[in-house]
Structure 1
């Protein structure tokens, strides 16, 4: 049978209340008593019943984080930074990936709700935030991550993806390219839609420049490779002379497809730029230009917003942190 708090109290010759204070508020207990209680805990092998503590408090010290794809290094870096920041606030991070699937996202929201988590950080799959609004109404703080929430009731931390899209296509046009293609999807994702919007705004400023949209079902390397194969099969006169990908994984897939047989050169025939600036971008066979966004700052800022949200009054509007993207130029977009 598990060792009880009563047994620890008896072994340390203190009250149950003192054991509780040692576990939850040790600064209220004399150092010698704290040492004696911890000695009894170690000898007896006591493990606190955190579920019972959460039931009494009504809320756990766990934070739920739902990302679109934990296999994407961008979200991996974001989660690591959030985990470190959570630890500094005596919180534990629970990670779930929606895989761009609304049903999986809803499943994680319900699970975290049942666990009475401290709060939820989420990069939403679509525009329907009704489940998050219901969670918020029940008293669980919610922060949108990698999604500008200025049109919602939630605090948010994001990067200006419209500006990022404009940076990418503006750079491609500056290198002399005029037949551009945007590769990304699904377009229901706000990040994809905003990056495409910025790309279109940049193209509109350049005479004779055109933008073709090639939609993908996901933001993966395999989806990029399929799009790259489709481009490679076209006659040379019908191919774009530059490609802007909604993320680096797509760009890496396209780079593989275009260069695998050696008949198309990047950047001589087709310039290529991605988004996120993951570590793999600079070590690709042709170092990949990309739009950099501060994944680690997004993760740590999300936790800070969540902690602030627990004490925000109803009269105070939610905070929105919007970082600016940065162009990183490498060999894949050398001038034509």
Structure 2
């Protein structure tokens, strides 16, 4: 059995030959239709339809001197939190006819740098980046070369880079304070690497809540390192937690995907939630309220994060850098509070 070769993509020259006009006339129909007579324009449009011609977007942008593509790099697009943020970006860009390209760094600085290079080679107007580490020197260099940069989901360590973030220290504090109010005095925190700002800030919030309650974090907090910031990582970390001799009575997870893995493991091992162990997540993604045991979670304004980041990027190089910080809120559900509880 033979497979047909893919059809060659029609070019501007193909359209010109088919319509019996010059390449310049085809270009005018595509970019300046008012300069072409109606009869000629109709002939060219008919040729475009017959040949299924699709204009080369980057080439048109270069000729016109305008760029309508932007990039976004997040830690993991499979995480519903980042999917929702990307939707906010996309909705804002669509109002001005911009196109979004999205990539995942997988928390890998080298992978992040590779995508930044590819985006720059593609000629994007700017990039929105969730940095994989605290080092933003490469982003400052990129901005100096004329590519707009906005830090996404983290505050900027420098006034030169615009940023949109949520107060993750306060978010961690909200989660831990809630668990303390439920009577828990030994809390596990399933956390990612401290090189990721969100992980470090949420840990600071937990420690602040414990200290404010007169409790020493060294005695009352058990931090368990995650191999990955997803459900599989949550399962592995929860297995480690269950093996502890002095088992914590509450678990705070750095995000809702990790919490999903934790809940899955606890249910499989016959551990009652919240009777034996209470669970709190972070992000309040769409599935949090739909789980077998609805998940208490720290809510972030995901769509507004994306919209605001896109707004800052589209403001252009001449606009002063801005730093926007949103406040999180705790959404209490069954996973941390027994029926009739506070």
Which TM-score band (shorter chain)? 0.7 to 0.9
- 1:25–1:190 CA distance, 2 compared to 1 (3 A): farther
What corresponds to 2:268 in structure 1?
A: 260
Taking a change above 3 Å as real, the CA distance of residues 4 and 239 of structure 1, as seen in their structure-2 partners, is closer
Correspondence 1:50 to 2:57? yes
1:319 to 308, 319, 322: 322
Contact map agreement 2:172 2:203 (CA 8 A) in 1: yes
In 1, Cα distance between equivalents of 2:177 and 2:39: 67
Q: Cα distance 1:290–1:31, how it changes in 2: closer, same or farther (>3 A)?
A: farther
Q: Are positions 1:329 and 2:332 aligned together?
A: yes
Q: Tell me the equivalent position of 1:201.
A: 208
Number of residues paired by the alignment? 329
**Matched residues in 2 for 1:31 and 1:205: separation?**
75
Is the Cα–Cα contact under 8 Å of residues 105 and 125 in structure 1 kept in the other structure? yes
Q: CA deviation at 1:277?
A: 0.8
1:92-241 → structure 2 map (5 Å cutoff): 92-149=99-156, 151-208=158-215, 210-235=220-245, 238-241=246-249
| 3-state SS in 1 of match to 2:305 | helix
CA contact (8 A) 1:184 1:246 kept: yes
Report how far residue 211 of structure 1 moved.
2.1
Residue of structure 1 equivalent to 2:257? 249
- Partner of 1:183: helix, strand, or coil? strand
1:158–1:321 contact (8 Å) kept in structure 2: yes
> In the alignment, is the contact (CA less than 8 A) between 1:122 and 1:144 conserved in 2?
yes
Shift of 1:130: 1.8
Shift of 1:200: 1.1
Which moves more between the two structures, 197-206 or 316-325? 316-325
Q: Assess, with a 3 A threshold, how the Cα gap between structure 1 residues 34 and 177 changes in structure 2: closer, same or farther.
A: farther
Q: Secondary structure at the match of 1:244?
A: strand
Kindly indicate whether the alpha-carbon contact (under 8 Å) linking 1:123 and 1:144 is maintained by their aligned counterparts in 2. Answer: yes
Structure-2 separation of matches of 1:27 and 1:247: 54
Normalising by structure 1, report the TM-score: 0.88
Once the two structures are TM-superposed, the CA of residue 147 in structure 1 deviates from its matched residue by 1.1
Could you state the TM-score of these two structures normalised by the residue count of structure 2?
0.86
Partners of 2:293 and 2:134 in 1: CA distance? 36
Contact kept? 2:189, 2:253, Cα under 8 Å: yes
How far 1:240 moved relative to its partner? 1.1
RMSD, matched Cα: 2.6
Which runs of 5 or more structure 2 residues have no equivalent in the other structure?
1-7
Alpha-carbon shift at residue 30 of structure 1 (Å): 8.1
Q: Kindly state the Cα deviation for residue 150 of structure 1 after the two structures are TM-superposed.
A: 5.6
Gaps of 5+ in 1: none
Question: Cα distance, 1:318 vs. partner?
Answer: 0.5
SS at 1:149 equivalent: coil
Distance 2:263 2:193 in 1: 20
Q: Against the structure 1 CA distance between its residues 61 and 177, is the aligned structure 2 distance closer, same or farther, given a 3 Å change threshold?
A: same
| Gap change, CA 1:216 and 1:160, over 3 Å in 2 | same
**What is the CA distance between 1:232 and its match in structure 2?**
1.3
